[in-house]
């Protein structure tokens, strides 16, 4: 089944974790993927594997906090592929830090990637999508953009900003048929979540039952399955919304 047949998709943070899984699955669904990351070696390995399987993906080195990089990458996608149908604003970094110990340096570094990166991505693709009759922007937020977690003032602020920016751009570009939504996963089995579990003095296995009544944290595929839908024409009526992928963790209470 090719639910994204010939869609031109830009995926940031594509060298590892959720981004790498997105590149592989989107290509398998027929998309033409421009995969970008600062981690060139891992990014090239991701697209090489896609190509070996007959899929279409290419890698471009890009730091999402740099506007010149966005201008370069979007110009390349438009020249090489004619349009950008979908942007997956996935690149992100995670710092857990008690409020009083959070440095301004860490604040600025994280905001530059998680907030400025998402802003620049939307700024440089939404108008191009509009010129082409529409498109979809998928912004990776987190449950930390919805609920409070100790030690998450910095990360939560960034993911809360992703949530509201998504709605603002969705409102501005709805008439142009550019759909913008935010995605809010719980811990997903990647290096980022490994860091979070270690910082809590725990493991992802032990955190599973605490974070979800389903008894486990998410796999990258649990997120990517939804991203395929949201990027596809099946989701043509969905914009300005936030989608929680958390195994019921933020909404279900257990008395047992
Ligand atoms: N893994 C989780 O538990 C989880 C939960 C909720 C939300 N998220 C969000 O999902 C997204 C992906 O997370 P992940 O778990 O795959 O993380 P990851 O750490 O496994 O991968 C992140 C990727 O982003 C890249 N990156 C970092 N800074 C960059 C920059 N300045 N420019 C371009 N690329 C950069 C890294 O090189 C890496 O390849 C992030 O936005 C994250 O905040 C993750």
Cβ distance 2 to 27 under 8 Å? no
Which residues, given as ranges, of the chain have pLDDT below 70?
1
Instruction: Report the DSSP beta bridge partners of residue 57.
Output: 33
pTM over 0.85: yes
Residue among 190, 200, 210, 247 to mutate when testing ligand 1 (max atoms within 8 A of CB): 190
Q: Which of ligand 1's atoms lies nearest the C-alpha of 189? A: 1
Angle between helices 104-111 and 153-173 (to 10 degrees): 30
Please indicate whether residue 183, judged by its CB atom, sits closer than 6 Å to ligand 1: no
What secondary structure letter does DSSP report for 239?
A: -
Class of 8-244 in CATH: alpha beta
Enumerate the active-site residues: 155
CA of 191 to the centre of ligand 1 (A): 9
Q: Is 113 in the pocket of ligand 1 (CB under 6 A)?
A: yes
In angstroms, the Cα distances linking 223 to 97, 105, 141, 147, 182 are 26, 31, 12, 19, 12
pLDDT digits (tens, 9 = 90+) for 63-99: 999 999 999 999 999 999 999 999 999 999 999 999 9
Q: What per-residue confidence (pLDDT) applies to 1?
A: 66
Domain residue extents for the chain: 8-244
The per-residue pLDDT for range 10-39, each reduced to its tens digit, is: 999 999 999 999 999 999 999 999 999 999
């Amino acid at each position: 089944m090719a639910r994204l047949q010939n869609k031109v998709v830009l995926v940031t943070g594509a060298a590892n974790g959720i981004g790498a899984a997105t590149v592989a699955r989107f290509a398998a669904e027929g998309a033409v993927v421009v995969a970008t990351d600062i981690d060139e070696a891992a990014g090239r390995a991701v697209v090489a594997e896609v190509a070996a399987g007959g899929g279409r993906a290419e890698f471009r080195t890009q730091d999402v906090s740099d506007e010149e990089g966005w201008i370069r990458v979007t110009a390349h996608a438009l020249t090489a592929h004619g349009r950008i149908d979908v942007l997956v604003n996935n690149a992100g970094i995670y710092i857990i830090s008690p409020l009083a110990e959070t440095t301004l340096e860490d604040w600025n570094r994280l905001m530059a990637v998680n907030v400025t990166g998402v802003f620049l991505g939307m700024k440089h693709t939404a108008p191009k999508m509009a010129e082409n009759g529409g498109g979809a922007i998928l912004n990776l937020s987190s449950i930390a953009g919805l609920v409070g977690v100790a030690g998450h003032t910095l990360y939560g602020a960034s993911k809360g900003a992703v949530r509201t920016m998504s709605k603002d751009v969705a409102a501005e570009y709805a008439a142009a048929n550019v759909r913008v939504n935010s995605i809010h996963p719980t811990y997903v089995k990647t290096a980022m979540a490994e860091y979070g579990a270690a910082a809590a003095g725990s493991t992802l296995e032990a955190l599973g039952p605490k974070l979800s009544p389903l008894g486990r944290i998410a796999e990258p595929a649990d997120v990517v399955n939804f991203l395929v839908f949201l990027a596809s024409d099946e989701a043509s009526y969905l914009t300005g919304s936030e989608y929680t992928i958390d195994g019921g963790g933020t909404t279900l209470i257990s008395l047992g």
